[in-house]
Amino acid sequence: MYYISKVDQNLAISIMVKTLSKFRGINGQKYHVRNRRDVGAWEAVPIYVYEKNKLQKTDDTAIFNVFGSR
C-alpha cells in the first residue's frame, strides 16, 4: 500500500493505492510517496513527479520533524 500526497499539502491529505501504476495524478505535479501511514521523527520521504502518465522518482527528499504523532 502506498500513501501519496501533494508536496504543497505536506502530508495532511493522502491517497492510498495498492500499486504506483494505479495512481492518476496531474502532469508536472510533485508528490510525496511513502509506504507507511505514520511518519516518524526526522523521517525522509521521497518526492516523485507525475510525468508521462506515471510517477517517476526524483533525487529529492523531504524531511519531516514530527514528534508525538500518535
Residue 3 has pLDDT above 80, yes or no: yes
pTM of the predicted model as reported, rounded to 2 decimal places = 0.85
What integer pLDDT is reported at residue 58 of this predicted model?
95
Residue 27 has pLDDT above 60, yes or no: yes
Instruction: Write out the three cell numbers for 17.
Output: 493505492
Q: Could you tell me the residue ranges of all domains in the chain?
A: 2-64
pLDDT digits (tens, 9 = 90+) for 43-67: 889 999 999 999 999 999 988 876 5
Mean pLDDT of the region 26-50: 90
Cross-strand partners of 55? 50
What integer pLDDT is reported at residue 70 of this predicted model?
46
